[in-house]
Amino acid sequence: MSNVVLKVTMGQLKKMAVFYQDYVVKPVPHSLFTAKKNQTTITGYNSGKVLFQGQNAESEAAQWQASSEKVGDPKPPAAKNGLKKEVLSKTSLPAGFSNWSVIGSDEVGNGSYFGPLTVCAVYASAEQLPLLKNMGVQDSKALTDARIITIAKQLVKQVPHSVINLMPEKYNEVQPTMSQGKMKALLHNQVLDQLLKKIAPEKPKAILVDQFELPSTYFKHIADQKVQVKENIHFQTKGESHHLAVAAASIIARYYFLKTLADMTAASGYPIPSGAGANVDLIAAEMYREGGLELLDKYTKLHFANTQKAIRLANS
């Protein structure tokens, strides 16, 4: 059994906790989460260290190493002549990739109890990249929701794109027999196929998926699909920092996700929030008191731990 330990930032640790939420087991002391996936146990400690233990520890940890430090790795030698050392980004993408004509895809909502799982693909040609920069396209996590909405309303008029909103009722229908990872893979495959057909006969030089699974696992997930988009496809964590197509896809996906939450607020009469925090439990408890699981099924991802928390609050 191999062990790998990575040192990550608190922001990255929280992102990993969301990524592994479908595989969570009872946490160990002083940890933010413990999960089991691909015959590997992943433990994220509050100190920022993440321990991977098991048969596939190396491959499971590999997808996070681009944004972390491997504990035990030798330190690079100090720069000579007082020059600032060059920091190389760990990426398998070809040189000059950020300037290519690329389809990028990303998803939003996988860590939110309320609302859909939204996946978007965007085609950004090399000629459009300066326009996207001028519009303010960047990592959506660095933007306020108000700014995201403003940029997205412009983007949807400027770039070819495809969006799928997997609503809670459908999500809850398939979730008992399908992991969230497989759901995301199928949705990415679908939006990529839709967008390729939309821009035909033009073809992108490459496709970049914001990585949420190992590529081998992603391809296993879509192996039963009639259409499998595989040509010139790349996977990269923090894909939005490697090409504006992924950043644009993230912004448009977030826009549709927020719009759906607003529609849900209007339809339900409750202020529907994003996320999975304590405020979410309180609103879910009120909804449960009114309509039970049947009502929650229309608005939430029922397999989240928030469901049981809401039920306990409602019955207290």
Structure tokens at 16: 């990993």
Do the annotations mark residue 107 as ligand-binding?
A: yes
Quote the CA–CA distance of 102 and 297 in Å, as a whole number: 37
Rg for the chain (alpha carbons), in Å?
Answer: 20
Which ranges of the chain would DSSP assign to H, the alpha helix?
A: 10-19, 57-62, 129-135, 145-158, 168-174, 180-199, 215-221, 244-268, 278-299, 306-315
Do the annotations mark residue 106 as ligand-binding?
A: yes
> How many residues in total does the chain contain?
316
Quote the CA–CA distance of 244 and 99 in Å, as a whole number: 9
Longest dimension (CA), the chain: 70
Annotate 44-60 with three-state secondary structure. Answer: EECCCEEEEEECCHHHH
Residue whose tokens read 């039920």: 311
Do the annotations mark residue 210 as ligand-binding?
A: yes
Strand partners, 161: 122
Residue 244: closest CA among 125, 152, 148: 125
Residue whose tokens read 């549709």: 256
Binding-site residues for a divalent metal cation, in ranges, read 106-107, 210
Binding-site residues, in ranges, read 106-107, 210
